Every structure is written in structure tokens, then in C-alpha cells.
Amino acid sequence: MEAPHSEPQQAPSDLDAVAEAHKSWLKSVLGLGALEAKLWVASSAQLLALMCGVVFLILTTWLLIIATGAAVAWSYGFSLVGILLTATLITFISAVVLLYLVKRTLEGMNFTRTLDAIIPTDED
């Protein structure tokens, strides 16, 4: 009569083994995901630092182009006030163009299209 008692005890241990195997598998998958996320964060930080350097160099180059133009204009006898006003105007127009490009890019970043593709609404 002890045999029927041992079979029900055997079933939970099999279930526990399957659950433990699934936990181990899930832990390894999540560990791989965490490792991938760490690599992405490190790469993103490095890319951000490089982009800051690029932006700094582009800004410096732009200012040197304006300064070179101002020096050439000064050597041809233009007034200093006129040169400074022209440089200010060029810088302002450049900022307006960049602002327009930022606005256009932000308008293009419509995340509702992705959301609608994943979860369609009744209106569609």
C-alpha cells in the first residue's frame, strides 16, 4: 500500500524539476538580455561623447568661417560694425534654419503610427 503514496509524491517532484528548468532557462534569457542592454548603454554613451565632439568641431568650424569672412571683409575696408552685424545676421539665420529642421524632424517622429500598427483602434 505504500506504492500509491509514493506515486503522488513523485509527480510534484517532476513538476518541480520542470519548473526549475524553466526558471533556469528564463534566468539565462534575461541575463543575456541584461548583458545586451549593458552593451547598448555603453555603446550609446560612447556614441554620445563622440557626437558631442563632432558638434563642438562643427561649431568651431562655422565660427572660424565667419571670422575668416570678417577678416577678409576688414582687409577690404568694410566697417567693423557692418561686419559684426552681418556675422550676427548670418548666425541668426543659421539658427532659424536649424530650428526649422528640428521642427520638421519632430513632426516626422509620429509614434502613433507604430502604436496603431501594434494595437489598431476601432476607428481604423
pLDDT digits (tens, 9 = 90+) for 77-101: 999 999 999 999 999 999 999 999 9
Write down the pLDDT at residue 1. Answer: 47
Residue 122 resides in a domain: no
Measure Cα distances from 11 to 19, 20, 21, 25, 100 in Å: 12, 14, 15, 21, 68
Q: Domain count for the chain, please give it.
A: 1
**Owning domain of residue 21:** 13-117
| pTM over cut 0.85 | no
Q: So what's the pLDDT on residue 115?
A: 64
Q: What is the pLDDT of residues 1-18, one digit of tens each?
A: 444 544 455 556 888 888
Cell of 75: 582687409
Does residue 41 form part of some domain?
A: yes
112: in domain = yes
Q: Would 45 be classed as within a structural domain?
A: yes
Tell me if 83 is assigned to some domain.
yes
Output the furthest CA–CA distance in the chain (Å, rounded): 115
